[in-house]
Structure formats: C-alpha cells, structure tokens
A and B are shown apart, each in its own frame.
Chain A
Amino acid sequence: MTDKTGTMLYLDGVSVAFDGFRAINKLSLIVQPAEMLAIIGPNGAGKTTMMDIITGKTRPDDGEVLFDGRTDLTKLDEAAIANLGIGRKFQKPTVFESQTVWNNLEMALRKPRGIFRTLFYTPSAEDIARIEEILDIVRLSGRKDELAANLSHGQKQWLEIGMLLAQDPKLLLVDEPVAGMTDSETVETAKLLKNIALTRSVVVVEHDMSFVRDLGSRVTCLAEGSVLAEGTLDQVSANPLVIERYLGR
C-alpha cells in the first residue's frame, strides 16, 4: 500500500477470525490527519470488529495496525491506546449512568490517568471552563447535575460525543452516532462531527444514508470483513457490487 508516514491510521492486510469465522479479512484502510471517513456496510461486515482491533479490545491474527504512522497498536492495551489519543464512541451509548453528566465529562477530560494523580485531582479553573464549553457544545448545560441515566437516548449519544471531545483525541472512532436521534438532532450531529474533523481524524460507522450524505466525506463500504468499494458516497452507491451486497434492489 501507499506510504505509512504521515497517516493517522494505517491498516494493512488485517485479518481476524473467531472460531474459524473470518470477521475481518485482509482489511486495508488509511485515514489521514484531519480527515473524515464514513464506513458503511451490511450487518456482520466487520465494522465493529475493526474498531475493536484499533482500540485494543481484539488482537488481529495478522496484519499491521499503525497509529500516527509509527505506533503499532496491536501491542498495546485499551488504556494505553486511549491515552495515545484514540477516542471511541460505542454503538449503544455507554455513559456512566449512576453518575452525573458533569462527572462523566470530568472523568473523560484529558488529564493524567495515574492512580494518585486521579486521587488528588482538583479541577482547575481551566478544566471547569473546558467542561462548561463542552456542555454547551453538546447542549447539556441545563442538565449537568443530573444522572446520566435520566437522559434521553439522543442526549446520551451527545454526552458520549462530549466525553470524546473532553478526551481531546487525535482520532475519533464513532460507531452509529445518530441511532435513536430525531431528524434535527441528526443534522446537528453531522455539523458537530464535520466541525471536529477540521482538526482531527474521524471515522464514522453509520447506516443512515442521509446522515452519511450530510457528512460529505470519503466513504468506504465494507462487506465480509474487507473493503468492497471506496470513494464519494455517489461513487460508492453507484457501484454494482455495493448495490447487490448492501443497498439492495
């Protein structure tokens, strides 16, 4: 494949099998700095497994996974990868339900993660301002003292995006961010992600085609664990293979 240096995320020939089933099959993918990539594909195409591999939850059997053109992610665990600057939003919104919105963000805020540094942490004025700013961006300022459990589904999604922002990652992996959102929320989310992608790399997995169109980014279609087609949304959705295997008709 092309040159690895200068890329934010570089996957080459990655394969992983679970009990003989090849979830990911010689997958190769590149994300540049400050670039957005939308990934579409049928269920079971390996989208979530790909994110598991990048974030250290699953070890690939084969292939190369590089972050920032040099760091081998297959040797690191989840916490180390997160601290390198890779943030992940899950398909099902996973926020810490028994804690307040504010505390969710405070925990996510990019700060030293050591035990004693965390034990003796006192938020600085700067930290508080940053959390307030994020609350504003994700429109949860009015609910900052409520338990995350009491948020609506869409608000949980936004809180999780807020937590991603607080982590201040270089690369964001966003799994189905608009599932369960209303149309207007979906439009807002697309704006927010496009804004984030001005300075960071963003990988979005999504089924909602109108949302992917709103993103206006490069699109990769996965099927059966490898890349089926790449290009703009129009190019990809015009591809006969994609129509046959994913879009239908």
Chain B
Amino acid sequence: MISQALFRALDRKAIWLVGILVALAILVPAANLLIPVGQPGHVPTYVVTLFGKYLSYAMLALALDLVWGYCGILSLGHGAFFALGGYAMGMYLMRQIGDRGVYANPELPDFMVFLNWQELPWYWQGFDNFWFACLMVVLVPGLLAFVFGFLAFRSRVTGVYLSIITQAMTFALLLAFFRNDMGFGGNNGLTDFKEILGVPVQAATTRGALFAATALALALSVLVCSGIVNSKLGKVMIAARDAESRTRFLGYRVEYVKLFAFTVSAVIAGIAGALYVPQVGIINPGEFDPANSIEVVIWTAVGGRGTIVGPIIGAILVHMGKSYFTSALPELWLFALGALFVLVTLFLPKGIVGLLGQYRAARARPERSGNQRDAGVDPQPEPAE
C-alpha cells in the first residue's frame, strides 16, 4: 500500500525536483570543499550557508503550501512551528557548549547562570542527546498543531477567523519566549553554539553537511507532500478547500482531513527550523514574530500556491531579492516586498509557476488557451451553497 502511494508520488515533476535537490546536496558541498579557493567552480562557504538557509525557508514555504494551497487553511502562524523546531535544536546545541561558556558552568547554559538558576529546569532534561532533540523537533510542533488544529477545526473555525487565531498563537508564543523566566534565554534567545554531534558548527565541512542535510530533508518533504496531494486524500483536501460543506455531505470528516494536513505541515516546518538554526547560529523569539509568518505567505504566493515546486522557487527568489535589496537599497526592501505581494495577488494569482504553466499551455494549444482551467489551484473557487 505504502509503496504504491510512494510510486504515485513520483510524478515527473516530483522526480525532477527530488533529482535536482539530491544533486545539489552532493555537488554544492563538493564544489566548496574539493575545488580550491580561487579555482573556477569553487563555491565559497558563505554561499553554501546562505543557500542552506534558503532551502530551510523553502521547506517552511512548502509546509505552508500544503495547508494553504491544497487545504485552504491560510495559516498566519506557521513561523511558530518553524521557531519551535529551531528552539529544540538550539537547546541541543546549547547543551553541547558544556563548560566552554563565559561562566564555564559545565551544567547550566550561560543565561541560566546569569539568572542565578541553580539547576537545569525539567524541560531541558534530555536535550544533551541529539536524537532526543530530533524527536522533540518533530513532536513539539506536531503536538501543538494537533491540539490547536483539533480545537479549531472541530469548532469549524475557518477563513479569516482561523488566520487570526493562528496569528494570535504565534504572537502569544513570541511574548512567552521573550520572558526570561521561561528558561529559553529571553530576548537574546539561544546562541554562541560550538559543536554539533562533536564537530565544530562553524567548520566548512559541517556547513557543507548541513547544506546537504537541508537539501535532502527538502527532497523528502517534496516526496511526502506530493505523495499526499496526489493521493485520494489530496483530492479530498482540494475538495474541502473549494466546497467544504459539500465534502462533508460526501461523508468525509473535513475537520480530520484538515487536522492531518495541518499536523504534517507543522512537523515539516519544525524540521526546517531545526536545520535553519545551526546554519544561522542563533534562535531568538524574533522568529515568532507574526510578520515572519506573513512573509512565508508572500513567498508561497509569489512562487505559486497549490503547486509543489512553487513555494520552493518563491522562497528562494524572494530571499535572493532580499539579499540584493537589503545591501543595495536597504530602506526600500519592505516596500518592494509589499509591492510584490500586491502585484502577485492582482496579476499572478497562481504565482510564477502558474505563469509558466499558462505560457506553456498557450504555446501548446493557442486556439484553446484561456478557456481551460488547470487542475490544482482555482484562484477564485465558487463557494458551494
């Protein structure tokens, strides 16, 4: 059964995407480590890390797209799951510092010593173990999404109301993590990491390995998401997005369909966050900022929601634009981002991928262009009854 589902997931686009990501996972670190500096083809370490970060953003955008593009749940709080995964990884990295901190306390992270704490709080127990931390990376965002989603979807909270409460969720977490006595480092967050699995976090080899891990994790997420959306459940997700109440009358429990997608999506977002933190070297409550979650929506919209490749392209392109703008015209970046969102919403409801699809369709059958609609996203689905 599962192998059949996997087989179905491997449609041609997904195969290409997974192939490209696996190739990148091998070639980019190799070009960084094996080709000497100054030789053509060498990729500088900062570029490896920069794109590793972009790929973790791409994973977050893909996670959002699973719920927004396919299930119609516009989550404005997906950054929260990303940040929680990041914090779980950050806690592991903090524990690896050991007695090399400023206060040289072998048991407590610096910020706890600073706060005069005597012992490690219970919820920090176990985080010195990498695999326990990995489990938490999956479990904490997944569980939060499950409980939150169960309550929200069962009460049939939909549309803009759901968006608002997801936003409230991430805002509440932002405020909570800002507090010093939460035990997560307050507004400084967790930083000054030294080692991961016994190797220095800053080393070029580690950077390369993290890039490869992120690319592979993204490839795996592509497989999982395309497996889901190409299954019958994926069709039911789209049905629930377009005509929720009609789907109920077919006998599907829409609340559980949404809950499944929301939980899977939160887990992917959490893993993305865990891969992000060692690459950027810090996690702080700023990651819970509602504005971050809204930005994820923009990446997804720009790339093309309701497609697998769209959010990945969107996240990477918007960040490349951001890197350019914030160095060339830093004061204009937010205006550019806002304008981009407005333009995409008005003129490109299916994003860049939709534009390419339209272009291809128009070339393939010029006489019929325009009166066929593509499967997947209908930008203006007619509400049922």
Q: A residues bordering B, Cβ < 8 Å?
A: 55, 57, 77-79, 82-83, 87-88, 90-92, 94, 96-100, 103, 106-108, 113, 115, 118-122, 147, 149-150, 163, 167
Report the bound CA distance from A76 to B356 in whole Å: 46
- Chain B residue with Cβ nearest A106: B232
Interface string of B190-233 (1 = CB under 8 A from A): 00000000000000000000000000000000000000100111
CB of B238 within 8 A of CB of A99, answer yes
Pick the residue among B232, B243, B245 that contacts A119 (CB under 8 A): B232
With A94-B243, A98-B242, A122-B1 known to touch, is A79 a contact of B233 (CB < 8 Å)? no
CB of A94 within 8 A of CB of B385, answer yes
For residue A105, give the distance in angstroms from its CB to the closest CB of chain B.
11
Q: Which residues of A contact B375 (CB under 8 A)?
A: 98-100, 147
CB of B250 within 8 A of CB of A108, answer yes
With A92-B385, A107-B239 known to touch, is A147 a contact of B372 (CB < 8 Å)? yes
Q: Which residues of A contact B384 (CB under 8 A)?
A: 90, 92, 94
With A82-B248, A122-B4, A167-B250 known to touch, is A96 a contact of B372 (CB < 8 Å)? no
CB of B260 within 8 A of CB of A115, answer yes
Pick the residue among A92, A94, A97, A107 that contacts B232 (CB under 8 A): A107
CB of A118 within 8 A of CB of B382, answer no
For residue B172, give the distance in angstroms from its CB to the closest CB of chain A.
28
Q: Which residues of A contact B322 (CB under 8 A)?
A: none
Q: Would you mind naming 13 contact pairs between A and B with Cβ atoms under 8 Å apart? A: A55-B249, A78-B245, A79-B254, A82-B249, A94-B385, A98-B373, A103-B235, A106-B232, A108-B250, A115-B257, A120-B2, A120-B231, A122-B1
Report the bound CA distance from A88 to B247 in whole Å: 11
**Apart from the given pairs A118-B231, A122-B1, 20 other A-B contacts in the complex at a CB distance below 8 Å:** A78-B249, A90-B384, A90-B385, A94-B243, A96-B239, A96-B246, A97-B373, A100-B375, A107-B235, A107-B239, A113-B253, A115-B233, A115-B256, A118-B232, A118-B236, A120-B4, A120-B5, A121-B233, A122-B4, A147-B373
CB of A79 within 8 A of CB of B246, answer no
Interface string of B35-46 (1 = CB under 8 A from A): 000000000000
Pick the residue among B235, B239, B253, B381 that contacts A79 (CB under 8 A): B253
- Chain A residue with Cβ nearest B231: A119
Taking the complex as formed, is B378 at the interface, i.e. its CB lies under 8 A from any CB of chain A? yes
For residue B153, give the distance in angstroms from its CB to the closest CB of chain A.
12
CB of A83 within 8 A of CB of B249, answer no
Pick the residue among B2, B245, B256, B373 that contacts A57 (CB under 8 A): B245
CB of B235 within 8 A of CB of A119, answer no
- Chain B residue with Cβ nearest A89: B249
Taking the complex as formed, is B148 at the interface, i.e. its CB lies under 8 A from any CB of chain A? no
CB of B251 within 8 A of CB of A79, answer yes
Q: Which residues of B contact A115 (CB under 8 A)?
A: 233, 256-257, 260
Report the bound CA distance from A163 to B250 in whole Å: 9
- Chain B residue with Cβ nearest A96: B239
Report the bound CA distance from A149 to B381 in whole Å: 10
Q: Which residues of B contact A120 (CB under 8 A)?
A: 1-2, 4-5, 231
CB of B2 within 8 A of CB of A150, answer no
Taking the complex as formed, is B376 at the interface, i.e. its CB lies under 8 A from any CB of chain A? yes
Q: Which residues of A contact B235 (CB under 8 A)?
A: 96, 99, 103, 106-107
Taking the complex as formed, is B377 at the interface, i.e. its CB lies under 8 A from any CB of chain A? yes
Pick the residue among B245, B252, B253, B372 that contacts A150 (CB under 8 A): B372
CB of B249 within 8 A of CB of A88, answer yes
For residue A39, give the distance in angstroms from its CB to the closest CB of chain B.
18
Interface string of B362-373 (1 = CB under 8 A from A): 000000000111
With A90-B246, A118-B233, A120-B2 known to touch, is A167 a contact of B239 (CB < 8 Å)? no
Would you list which residues of chain B between 339 and 385 have a CB under 8 Å from chain A? 371-373, 375-378, 381-382, 384-385
Q: Which residues of B contact A90 (CB under 8 A)?
A: 246, 384-385
For residue A54, give the distance in angstroms from its CB to the closest CB of chain B.
11
Q: Which residues of B contact A122 (CB under 8 A)?
A: 1, 4-5, 8
For residue B383, give the distance in angstroms from its CB to the closest CB of chain A.
9
For residue B230, give the distance in angstroms from its CB to the closest CB of chain A.
10
Q: Which residues of B contact A163 (CB under 8 A)?
A: 250
For residue B314, give the distance in angstroms from its CB to the closest CB of chain A.
21
Q: Which residues of A contact B252 (CB under 8 A)?
A: 79, 107, 113, 118
With A79-B248, A90-B246, A115-B233 known to touch, is A98 a contact of B378 (CB < 8 Å)? yes
For residue A148, give the distance in angstroms from its CB to the closest CB of chain B.
10
- Chain A residue with Cβ nearest B2: A120
For residue A7, give the distance in angstroms from its CB to the closest CB of chain B.
22
Report the bound CA distance from A96 to B235 in whole Å: 10
Report the bound CA distance from A86 to B301 in whole Å: 39
Pick the residue among A79, A98, A149 that contacts B238 (CB under 8 A): A98
Report the bound CA distance from A87 to B248 in whole Å: 11
- Chain A residue with Cβ nearest B252: A113
For residue B70, give the distance in angstroms from its CB to the closest CB of chain A.
11
For residue A28, give the distance in angstroms from its CB to the closest CB of chain B.
24
Report the bound CA distance from A113 to B233 in whole Å: 9
Q: Which residues of B contact A100 (CB under 8 A)?
A: 375
Q: Which residues of A contact B250 (CB under 8 A)?
A: 82, 107-108, 163, 167
Q: Which residues of A contact B239 (CB under 8 A)?
A: 96, 99, 107
CB of A82 within 8 A of CB of B378, answer no
Report the bound CA distance from A132 to B137 in whole Å: 46
Q: Which residues of A contact B376 (CB under 8 A)?
A: 98
- Chain A residue with Cβ nearest B382: A97
Q: Which residues of B contact A97 (CB under 8 A)?
A: 242, 373, 378, 381-382
